[in-house]
Chain A
């Protein structure tokens, strides 16, 4: 799976958010999870753009839930990690870990 090794940062974050939220991974929850953990404003459109791309790559799959009244009768779309998505996340993490190995970015290094 060579091509899946390099996930963009936002893609990784999105995948991780989906993974963390488990059954509750839909637009609002994913957006808030990313916003809370990355501590910066996130537009819902970019979340959907990333989700769409991940789904095309087969890392996640989605299904549409029942419409609810607090959403003006509109349905939620729930997302879940696929096995290859899980694989891609792990691979990405391993890659990064290998880069971090033995690297120390303590301020003294740059004195």
Chain B
């Protein structure tokens, strides 16, 4: 023997995986012969080629033989119709046995099916949401050849900003895109038969329709040049709007529509495909024409997309556009310094940036729910297969093979799973309808979700796969039952062996760790949701009604008429019954774009260093109405008019940032780069900026200016009421109409409603996530309780015997709890570590709490441990009370 003889001997076995592949693919008839042949040759080759050479040979033979072996296996199947029927017969037998088994024990089967149905239901529901985005039927033709061009604002790390018209024109000079089109959404006032109405509009460049290639059902797209100022105004109708307003009448082409006080000729009707996502609300399509063709390169409002030249990839386009972007920021440092350009594919562009993360979280969470459900069902099957040991023992004594028993048990599992799948579909439908109801149909994602083909396929796969996960282990174990001992002992308790308890221990550990991971993540999400509710937005929105009043340019051309309108409105509105205070603001609190401004006496070299602040135009009483505190100086009053000193208020963040250690009062600032007169800061007030996730933006500098000195056509009227604000809706509208009967009032909402709507996107999904987690918690708690108490109750005889032999109750309890404690420690450890790893995903979503929120990371494990300890304690305590003789007898 060589010095390595021993080692050689030990490793000189054919590769295990290869052997397994062979034994699975080979038909029974040749399994032994062929495997034997290979092993024999393998051993001979070890002598001549060495172990690794022989192993390589074995692998080559295995892989080269697999196809032939599979063909042989298939050929080995039904050789005659008689055999075929026999085979089918056994399948039927399995199903019949299965149904009989289910009927014999309908309760446990129903619980299994129901548990699974809930899990399959939530999985289906979530998948249907994900599939909308993943398999969305996009309106544009060949969406893969379309790409979106975004600006990146490096100063705020916002990776997707819109593009200004000027930049769009410059970006159009490229070789990557056939055409580059711009789109911006907004509103316009539409007058039909003298009735003013605000509708949502899409404004697009003239090449938009040929870029997206969305079919028109009637008429034509925009012609080149139609987006230039001075071109004849034209309009294209959305399909829904056409159906609703014109009952689908094809004669609408050529009709005139008054938009913002100007006649527009209807030239086309776009396909209903265009009504997807945000665009679903758009009623009419206009050219970029009149108002915003202006020259401000800093006014970034266009969503830019283009059709790639044949053969150009998104990556290549990205490189070219980035280079153009870099050139623009050098050329126009005033507006473009710190701005980059990048290109992104269509599907990613249409998703909010946080959506993929949220979806990943949702899929993870429902996946966990499914696994937990499978673990629960597996455990129930275990318990049942233990009590059915005798049945299997009898069967195998009568000649049933191991495979046959496994197959039969899996058939039973599949029956349960199919029932669960059907119930799950109904459940998913319910969940989706409930979500539509809860979000009041405002969440496009939920209203678009349907149980379509992709979803059904998904559910089918889950339904078929689940039995393998939850049914295979119990089935394999049942098939290993030792015939003679099972029959001798009467079988009932023979499942409590070492192996059984080890498998069950694994189940407990995996269940605890999975449940913990999910629950901790969801706990953090839930804490976010709670904190969002509690966040102080800087104002008090209770009992405040708000509505948008946007004066048409045609009727209110000069500042004087605008000033007069809002002055009269403040007077009439103060007569609204129940009104406590009336205020005007240019737009409701929320995230507004920051504007550059200048501070007197401070020269700015680099435009990136120029101070920026959000500008808010308010009426004198607005601060009072919204309960925005004044920290220093004075607020605005009716004395501040266009003739008097031009004044401004700043918030604390602006003070801290621009006048650290100085008194801002008395300083002079100038908004924008226009040669406007200087504004004098007269006071410091609270800030009202908050982000779409509800994140309070206390750090955002803000400047307030009085509406009398900065008249604007579009203002929001705020009415603080003494009682329920919705009761003041009619009176408030009437107040507007008493000033101008033709003036539309839009977007009437209470501020509480508004605050909810602003954050509804992620909020709804986070809430859903939290709800699933709660659901999983209940499921896991039940499961853990079930397994652990079962494990203890199996030791009842042992416990009562120990008691009979004089053991102290507390010693016995301690013994039981120790075993449970070890499992718990393992499960908790794995779960917490997993949650810590996964919590990184949450980082971009959570608000107000850390993604490693200590309260959640301690509280959730604590709860599960408590459940588990009770699950151990209660049955153990009961067992100590049982009369030992009785316990032994029931054995």
Contact = CB atoms under 8 A, between A and B. Distances in A.
A105 interface: no
Interface stretch (B36-44, B414-422, B851-859): B36-44
B71 interface: yes
A38 B799 CA distance: 72
B72 A52 contact: yes
A74 B71 contact: no
B38 A44 contact: yes
B142 interface: no
A48 B38 CA distance: 12
A70 B61 contact: no
Interface stretch (B26-34, B287-295, B537-545): B26-34
A38 to B, nearest CB: 15
A74 B14 CA distance: 14
A49 interface: yes
A77 B34 CA distance: 9
Contacts of A52: 30, 72, 75
Given A48-B30, A49-B72, A52-B75, A76 B66 contact: no
Interface centre among A43, A45, A64 (most CB of B within 10 A): A45
Given A31-B37, A70-B40, A75 B32 contact: yes
A46 interface: yes
B69 A45 contact: yes
A48 B30 CA distance: 8
B39 A44 contact: no
A28 B40 contact: yes
Q: Which of A31, A46, A49 has the most CB of B within 10 A?
A: A49
Contact of B30 (A28, A67, A77): A77
A48 B64 CA distance: 12
A52 B43 CA distance: 25
B36 A76 contact: yes
A77 B40 CA distance: 13
A98 B227 CA distance: 85
B27 to A, nearest CB: 9
A76 B33 contact: yes
Contacts of A28: 37, 40-41
B68 interface: yes
Contacts of A48: 30, 33-34, 65, 68-69, 72
Contact of A72 (B36, B72, B75): B36
Contacts of B503: none
Given A44-B61, A45-B64, A74 B72 contact: no
Nearest to B67: A45
A32 B41 CA distance: 10
A43 B72 CA distance: 14
Question: How big is chain B's contact interface, by range?
Answer: 20 to 34
Given A52-B75, A74-B33, A76-B36, A43 B68 contact: yes
B39 A71 contact: yes
B61 A43 contact: yes
Contacts of A43: 61, 64-65, 68
Contacts of B64: 41, 43, 45-46
B37 A44 contact: yes
B40 A71 contact: yes
A26 B68 contact: no
A40 to B, nearest CB: 12
B267 interface: no
Contact of B32 (A32, A41, A49, A74): A74
B35 interface: yes
Q: Which of A41, A43, A67, A68 has the most CB of B within 10 A?
A: A43
A46 B40 contact: no
A79 to B, nearest CB: 10
A71 B67 CA distance: 23
Contacts of A27: 33-34, 36-37
A76 B41 CA distance: 12
A29 B43 CA distance: 14
A30 to B, nearest CB: 9
A48 B36 CA distance: 13
Contacts of A71: 36-37, 39-40
A110 B32 CA distance: 52
Contacts of B65: 43-46, 48
A7 to B, nearest CB: 18
A75 B69 CA distance: 18
A45 B75 CA distance: 14
A65 to B, nearest CB: 9
Contacts of A45: 34, 61, 64-69, 72
A76 B37 contact: yes
Contacts of A70: 39-40, 43
A32 B36 CA distance: 15
A75 B68 contact: no
Nearest to B65: A45
Nearest to B76: A52
A44 B34 contact: yes
Q: Kindly name the residue among A31, A64, A68, A71 whose own CB sees the greatest number of chain B CB atoms within 10 A.
A: A71
Interface string A55-90: 000000000100110111011110000000000000
Interface in A12-44: 26-28, 31-32, 41, 43-44
Nearest to A49: B68
B35 to A, nearest CB: 6
Interface in B742-776: none
A81 to B, nearest CB: 18
A46 B69 CA distance: 8
A42 to B, nearest CB: 9
A26 to B, nearest CB: 7
A103 to B, nearest CB: 34
A32 B34 CA distance: 14
Contact of A49 (B35, B37, B43, B71): B71
A9 to B, nearest CB: 16
A70 to B, nearest CB: 6
B79 to A, nearest CB: 9
B49 to A, nearest CB: 14
B516 to A, nearest CB: 45
Interface string B53-90: 00000001100111111011001000000000000000
B33 A77 contact: yes
Nearest to A78: B33
Contacts of B60: 41
Contacts of A26: 33, 37
Nearest to B25: A45
B76 to A, nearest CB: 8
B241 to A, nearest CB: 67
A59 to B, nearest CB: 16
Most chain-B Cβ atoms within 10 A of its Cβ — which of A46, A74, A75? A74
Given A43-B68, A49-B68, A75 B30 contact: no
Pick from B33, B43, B60 the residue with the most CB of A within 10 Å: B33
A72 B42 CA distance: 11
B487 to A, nearest CB: 29
Contacts of A49: 68-69, 71-72
A28 B37 CA distance: 5
A49 B64 CA distance: 12
Contacts of A77: 30, 33
29 contacts: A26-B33, A27-B33, A27-B36, A28-B40, A31-B37, A45-B65, A45-B68, A45-B69, A46-B65, A48-B33, A48-B34, A48-B68, A48-B69, A49-B68, A49-B71, A52-B72, A67-B36, A68-B40, A70-B40, A70-B43, A72-B36, A74-B32, A74-B33, A75-B32, A75-B36, A76-B36, A76-B37, A77-B30, A77-B33
Given A44-B37, A74-B39, 10 more contacts: A26-B33, A26-B37, A44-B61, A45-B67, A46-B64, A49-B71, A52-B72, A67-B32, A67-B36, A71-B36
Task: Identify the 4 closest CB pairs spanning chains A and B, nearest first.
Answer: A45-B65, A74-B36, A27-B37, A43-B64
Interface of A: 26-28, 31-32, 41, 43-46, 48-49, 52, 64, 67-68, 70-72, 74-77
Interface of B: 30, 32-41, 43, 60-61, 64-69, 71-72, 75
